Amino acid sequence: MGKLSQIKTVKLPVLIIALLSFILSGCAANNRNMSDVAKQLRHNLPVETAVTKLEAMKVESQSVAQYALNLGYLQLVNGDYPNALVNFEKAKQTMASLQAISISENLGSATVNETFRSYSGWPTDQVLVHGMMAMAYLLNNDLNGARVEILQADVRMNKLAESDKDKGQLAFVRYLAGVVYELNGEIDSALISYRMALSILESRTEAIPPSLQQSLIDLTAQIGLTQESKQYQKKFRLTVSKAYSNKQFIFAFDGVVTQMQQAKSTLWWDIDDVYLSVALPKFPRNNYVLSKSYIEAQGHEEVTYEIENIESRAREDLQARMPAITAMALARAATKYQTVKELNKKDNVLGAFANVLTIVSEVADLRHWGLLPSSIQVATTYATTGTLKLSNSYGQQTLGTPDNVSDKHEKAPAVAAIPASSQSEEDDIAPVQQDSVQNSNEQLISRKLNTKSKAARKRAPSEAVLKERQSAEKIPKEDIAYLNYTSNKNAVILLSSLTNKVHIANF
């Protein structure tokens, strides 16, 4: 009888650990699947297929926000704005509801692993979801909806800045707020937002995109802040724009952000015959190389410049969380060690079994908004009428190691481009290829894609060499679309390296 009760006593903890490991394996699998999709997108997986793959996934309740963010982003760049908004809203609501500290999730993460926590979004996610929603509203021709989102983003950024002035501060979202206000005729609010974007970039000592520089100069001049306008002119070596009747705000989402990896260390603790294991998340080396877009209007070429490096923001977010993650991992290791040690005293076999389970259950939380672009770039043009030619830089967006291989393929020029002059003037913005028109907001320009051979990928030179070579060589460009611009309306244009669609909304 005594032996039986002893077996019952020792079996319970083992069963609990086994059961928890089984339950939580779902979270890790979810993230693995989403991470796989991200890697495939880097290898030119069509966005439509990626959306289908994501939609087919069964999502654990702890990862609902992460899933909705990823799916919403793909739907946005695929032009499915209504569904993108539904998913972003779901992610936003979920993240907001998870801001309070959870007792059960903290206990779970202290005893089993970090994936026990619900994904409540990193600071960048919490702000960027508003930015992406604003973009979806804009492209859906809903300026008021976009305005609501940028107001919410402002509240969120102010809240995050209370604990750390740089936390969650995104120049892209501030710049986008400026664009929304400018489109809405609220010049003074637009100027404030542009100033905030400038302040963020300056505090990071990052380059100021010319479109932001020009907006600051023009808006201060318009409002009558002559002295400030002159200061910006002197600082940026630019002058006030010539009178214009419309403005095109171009945004380019480039690449797919690097996926996190697990760094797991297991060591044998000889004194008590126990294996100790600690798993932490980490970002691998950043192999992203910026790829720019080009806009030619009335014989003048504009280039998109980076306003937000998401690769850096993601790494900063992880860096800020690492002390807490590491402390929790060590506490967890201590708890597991103590449990196994006690079981070892009672029964060596069960102790060993429990030890295996504690090692297996130790997984790092690799969840993040993993389908985001590596870089967000901006440009503005002031074409009143004529043709707007959009093109992209030729070459690889990600230069890499064999397992993180390059992913942009060599591309042939756009097929069958027709001279702009032959276009009907009835359309406000019309692509030259009539067959490719899907709707008024979206033009699909077909193009040929030639993939690189595996052998060629394996021969990829080192990152430093490639970066140097890229900067040294004149990078050829690939045409994406020709747009006949005959209206006097402002426009927001979104380009994404994931898809060959050009998204346009007129205001």
Partner 1 sequence: MRLLAVILCVVILSACGSTKVQRLDSSETVDLSGAWNDSDSRMTAETMVADVLNRPWINRHVSQKGKPPTVIVGSIKNLTHEHINTNTFVSDIERELINSGMVEFVASANQRGDIREERKDQDLNSTEATRNAAGQEIGADYMLTGQINTIIDANASTQVRYYQVDLTLISMADNRKVWVGQEKIKKLVENAKLRY
Measured distance CA(390)–CA(479) in Å, rounded: 6
Binding to partner 1, residues 180-219 (CB under 8 A): none
Measured distance CA(103)–CA(109) in Å, rounded: 10
> Virtual CA dihedral for 394, 417, 442, 449, nearest 10 degrees?
-40
Measured distance CA(133)–CA(127) in Å, rounded: 10
Q: What is the closest distance, in whole angstroms, from the C-beta atom of residue 54 to partner 1 in the complex? A: 24
Nearest CB to partner 1, comparing residues 155 and 331: 155
Q: How is residue 488 annotated by DSSP? A: -
Residue carrying the six token digits 């969650």: 168
| CB count in 10 Å sphere of residue 5 | 9
Q: What is the closest distance, in whole angstroms, from the C-beta atom of residue 20 to partner 1 in the complex? A: 7
- Say if CB 453 and CB 460 are below 8 A apart: no
Instruction: Select from 7, 12, 263, 465 the one that contacts partner 1 (CB under 8 A).
Output: 12
Stretch that binds partner 1, among 74-82, 103-111, 303-311, 378-386 (CB under 8 A): 103-111
Instruction: Select from 11, 20, 187, 507 the one that contacts partner 1 (CB under 8 A).
Output: 20
Q: What is the closest distance, in whole angstroms, from the C-beta atom of residue 101 to partner 1 in the complex? A: 5
Q: What is the closest distance, in whole angstroms, from the C-beta atom of residue 200 to partner 1 in the complex? A: 20
Nearest CB to partner 1, comparing residues 107 and 267: 107
Instruction: Select from 26, 46, 145, 284 the one that contacts partner 1 (CB under 8 A).
Output: 145
Nearest CB to partner 1, comparing residues 111 and 433: 111
Mask for 310-349, x = binds partner 1 (CB under 8 A): -----------------------------x----------
Nearest CB to partner 1, comparing residues 101 and 455: 101
Binding to partner 1, residues 23-62 (CB under 8 A): 61
Between the two ends of the chain, the Cα-to-Cα distance in Å is: 82
Binding to partner 1, residues 72-101 (CB under 8 A): 98-101
State the number of binding residues for partner 1 (CB under 8 A).
28
Q: What is the closest distance, in whole angstroms, from the C-beta atom of residue 127 to partner 1 in the complex? A: 14
Instruction: Select from 5, 104, 421, 453 the one that contacts partner 1 (CB under 8 A).
Output: 104
Q: Which residues pair with 503 in a beta bridge?
A: 442, 494
111 binds partner 1 (CB under 8 A): yes
Give, to the nearest 10 degrees, the angle between helix 47-55 and helix 2-42.
Answer: 160
Q: What is the closest distance, in whole angstroms, from the C-beta atom of residue 14 to partner 1 in the complex? A: 10
Q: What is the closest distance, in whole angstroms, from the C-beta atom of residue 16 to partner 1 in the complex? A: 5
| CB count in 10 Å sphere of residue 238 | 15
> Virtual CA dihedral for 318, 123, 208, 206, nearest 10 degrees?
-20
Measured distance CA(28)–CA(13) in Å, rounded: 22
Provide the phi-psi class of 141: left if phi over 0, else alpha when psi is between -120 and 50, else beta: left
Binding to partner 1, residues 476-505 (CB under 8 A): none
Q: What is the closest distance, in whole angstroms, from the C-beta atom of residue 241 to partner 1 in the complex? A: 28
Q: Which residues pair with 444 in a beta bridge?
A: 501
CA atoms within 13 Å, Cβ hemisphere of 243 = 0
**Buried residues in 92-131 as b, exposed as e (16+ CB within 10 A):** bebbeebeeeeeebeebbbbbbbbbbbbbbbbbbbbbbbb
- Say if CB 444 and CB 436 are below 8 A apart: yes
464 binds partner 1 (CB under 8 A): no
Nearest CB to partner 1, comparing residues 151 and 352: 151
Nearest CB to partner 1, comparing residues 102 and 231: 102
Stretch that binds partner 1, among 142-150, 284-292, 319-327, 382-390 (CB under 8 A): 142-150
Binding to partner 1, residues 153-182 (CB under 8 A): 155, 158-159, 162-163
Nearest CB to partner 1, comparing residues 39 and 147: 147
Q: Give the C-alpha distances (Å, rounded to integers) separating 131 from 150, 244, 296.
A: 7, 27, 26
Stretch that binds partner 1, among 107-115, 306-314, 369-377, 444-452 (CB under 8 A): 107-115
Reduce the secondary structure of 373-394 to three states and give it as a string. CCEEEEEEECCCCEEEEEEEEC
5 binds partner 1 (CB under 8 A): no
Q: What is the closest distance, in whole angstroms, from the C-beta atom of residue 472 to partner 1 in the complex? A: 49
Residues of the shown chain interacting with partner 1 in the complex, contacts defined by CB under 8 A: 12-13, 16, 19-20, 61, 98-104, 107-108, 111, 144-145, 147-148, 151-152, 155, 158-159, 162-163, 339
